[in-house]
């Protein structure tokens, strides 16, 4: 069964991306060609899809760079080789836009004995709910869905608390300490302090 592709697709290039997101359109899929893509631009795309309802992403990648590809875990995503034909491209796109009933929910992140439900903002450990404030939850879910990358306290303030937040970076340290104490030692061991930088979630 094939779908007629009646969707809006955002083709992300540094030249067109800002123009597209300022156009007022809503998008069903973000298509990212990774050839020569800057890390800073990818972070802009990452922020956009998260802030706009977790839009699915399809990455186009050269086969030679496949080993270094890391797909985001917070949003539904897939990749297709740059040499792929039209038929494969259509199937990959359809799978992201109209997933089968059996597919695992993209809004559950599982790490060890912890589940983060990104749809309901709930965290459980060993199936027991963890009582987190909204900012504690936001900080934990941001780090857990952007693993293996160190973030400065300033960056975390911007990404988790928002650009308008006027408090100091000590706020981040206080919340990290609270999160570590609430999730217990096993999960806390994933939240690593990077001296002179900030924090990193280690898988």
Confidence of residue 3 (pLDDT cuts 50, 70, 90): very low
Q: Is 189 found in the same domain as 130?
A: yes
Q: How far apart are CA 196 and CA 106, in angstroms?
A: 34
Q: Is 68 found in the same domain as 32?
A: yes
User: Which pLDDT score, from 0 to 100, does residue 2 have?
Assistant: 40
Q: How far apart are CA 185 and CA 182, in angstroms?
A: 9
Per-residue pLDDT averaged across 146-173, rounded?
81
DSSP per residue, 92-116: HHHHHHS--TTSPPTTEEEETTEEE
Domain that holds residue 193: 108-201
pLDDT in tens, 77-119: 777 887 777 777 777 777 777 765 444 456 788 899 999 988 7
Task: Work out the percent of the chain whose per-residue pLDDT is above 70.
Answer: 80
Q: Tokens standing for 124?
A: 């459980």
- Which carries the bigger pLDDT value, residue 63 or residue 136? 136
- Which carries the bigger pLDDT value, residue 132 or residue 74? 132
**What mean pLDDT is reported for the chain?**
79
- DSSP alpha helix (H) spans, the chain: 14-21, 39-51, 86-97, 134-145, 153-156, 170-188
Confidence of residue 72 (pLDDT cuts 50, 70, 90): low
Domain boundary among 65, 97, 129: 97
**Residue 128 within any structural domain of the chain:** yes
Question: What is the three-class DSSP state of 75?
Answer: coil
Q: How far apart are CA 51 and CA 30, in angstroms?
A: 13
Q: Is 120 found in the same domain as 88?
A: no
Q: Report whether pLDDT(22) > 50.
A: yes
Which are the contacts of 22, defined by CB distance < 8 A and separation ≥ 6? none
How many C-beta atoms lie closer than 10 Å to residue 112's C-beta?
14
Tally of domains in the chain: 2
**Residue 102 within any structural domain of the chain:** no
CATH code for the domain of 141 = 1.10.10.10
Per-residue pLDDT averaged across 74-78, rounded?
73
Domain boundary among 97, 129, 156: 97
Q: For residue 60, give the H/E element and its range.
A: strand 57-61
User: Which pLDDT score, from 0 to 100, does residue 11 have?
Assistant: 61
**Residue 16 within any structural domain of the chain:** yes
Q: Is 133 found in the same domain as 93?
A: no
User: Which pLDDT score, from 0 to 100, does residue 105 have?
Assistant: 53
pLDDT in tens, 46-65: 777 777 677 788 888 877 77
> pTM for this one?
0.51
Q: Is 191 found in the same domain as 113?
A: yes
The length of the chain in residues reads: 203
How many C-beta atoms lie closer than 10 Å to residue 111's C-beta?
17
Relative orientation angle of helices 170-188 and 134-145, to the nearest 10 degrees: 70
Q: Report whether pLDDT(134) > 70.
A: yes
């Amino acid at each position: 069964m094939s779908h007629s592709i009646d969707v809006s697709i955002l083709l992300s290039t540094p030249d067109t991306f800002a123009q597209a997101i300022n156009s007022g359109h809503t998008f069903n899929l973000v298509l990212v060609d990774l050839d020569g893509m800057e890390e800073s631009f990818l972070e802009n795309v990452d922020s956009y899809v998260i802030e706009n309802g977790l839009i699915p992403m399809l990455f186009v990648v050269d086969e030679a760079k496949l080993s270094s590809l890391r797909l985001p875990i917070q949003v539904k995503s897939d990749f297709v080789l740059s040499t792929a034909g039209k038929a494969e491209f259509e199937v990959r796109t359809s799978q992201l836009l109209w997933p089968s009933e059996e597919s695992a929910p993209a809004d559950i992140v599982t790490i060890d004995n912890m589940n983060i439900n990104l749809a309901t903002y709930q965290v459980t450990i060993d199936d027991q709910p963890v009582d987190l404030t909204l900012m504690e939850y936001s900080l934990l879910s941001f780090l857990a869905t952007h693993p293996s990358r160190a973030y400065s306290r300033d960056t975390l303030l911007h990404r988790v608390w928002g650009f308008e937040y006027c408090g100091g970076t000590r706020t981040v340290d206080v919340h990290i300490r609270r999160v570590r104490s609430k999730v217990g030692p096993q999960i806390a061991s994933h939240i690593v302090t990077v001296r002179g930088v900030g924090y990193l979630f280690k898988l």
